[in-house]
Amino acid sequence: MTTSHPEPAAPPPPAAGEPVGLPILFISDLHLSTAAPHTTAAFTAFIHGPARQAHSLYILGDLFENWAGDDDLDEPFNQQITTLLFELAASGTRIFFLAGNRDFLAGAGFARAADLTLLADPTLITPAAHPILLSHGDALCTDDHAYQHFRQQVRTPAFQAQFLAQPLAARKAIITQLREQSESAKKDKEMALMDVAPAAIAALLREHNYPTLIHGHTHRPAQHTHQVDGHACTRYVLADWHDHPTWLRFDGTGFMPCTLPRP
């Protein structure tokens, strides 16, 4: 006679609000490139310092000024940055990356090289029972119809496959050209057009049950409060790293904007 044993139960999925390691750091819009060595130096100091003391680092897009494809990982500057991230991960800090409009072509190859986890935009996390919604922010600039049309087009798998099938040098030339077009188009756009739209923010907060929202993209660092359906939701806009490095730190109870001491 054989006795049947029940299959061992799969471990339960982590419950929402389960305590995770703290602190968590959030950064975005570093726009790293060889053209901005001071930002690279600041990023290196950040990775070797505060990021190493953190449990997790969330990069909310535009880490790079541009990213032409994961076949450009061997380029010395890209290698320098991914190595920094890889070493940070090896030191024990978990790294998450949510793409921006400059680096949305960073994919599985980049994730492997930097030893990080790619996130969809938006992604909801719940550290210390605190719902936090993460986004780059460009999808929220819904008043800029020309940009949203462009975004919709370039984010399709078909477009990306076609683009990535071109030689790397050709892709870099196209990116440079698009950049110039975007910069000249920006001159004619009103500032309000290029900011996030209040209606888009409200819809997103409603859809995700009124979390705290953290995003970048606009380079307008601030802390806003949105009243949505009777809920007071906080929205943090991360700063870019052009003038000096800043990040947002969550310690389980509150959010603290931080910066490296000026050299």
What mask of x and - would describe binding to Mn ion in positions 140 to 179, judged by CB under 5 A? ----------------------------------------
Distances from the Cα of 257 to the Cα of 56, 92, 214, 225, 247, angstroms: 16, 23, 12, 16, 6
What mask of x and - would describe binding to Mn ion in positions 62 to 101, judged by CB under 5 A? x-------------------------------------xx
Q: Which residue is nearest to Mn ion (CB)?
A: 217
Beta carbon of residue 100, minimum distance to Mn ion (angstroms, whole number): 4
- Burial class of 21 by CB neighbour count within 10 A (0 to 12, 13 to 18, 19+): middle
- Which tokens is 68 given? 């032409």
In this structure, are residues 241 and 42 in contact, taking their beta carbons and an 8 Å threshold? yes
Residues in contact with Mn ion, counted by CB under 5 A, come to a total of: 4
What single-letter DSSP state applies at residue 193?
A: G
Q: Does 103 bind Mn ion (CB under 5 A)?
A: no
Instruction: Output 27 or 93, the one with its CB closest to Mn ion.
Output: 27
Alpha carbon 96 to chain centroid, angstroms: 8
The residue assigned the tokens 């072509």 is: 105
Instruction: Output 220 or 224, the one with its CB closest to Mn ion.
Output: 220
Instruction: Output 56 or 135, the one with its CB closest to Mn ion.
Output: 135
What mask of x and - would describe binding to Mn ion in positions 184 to 223, judged by CB under 5 A? ---------------------------------x------
CB neighbourhood size of 42 (10 A): 21
- What residues make contact with Mn ion under the rule CB under 5 A? 62, 100-101, 217
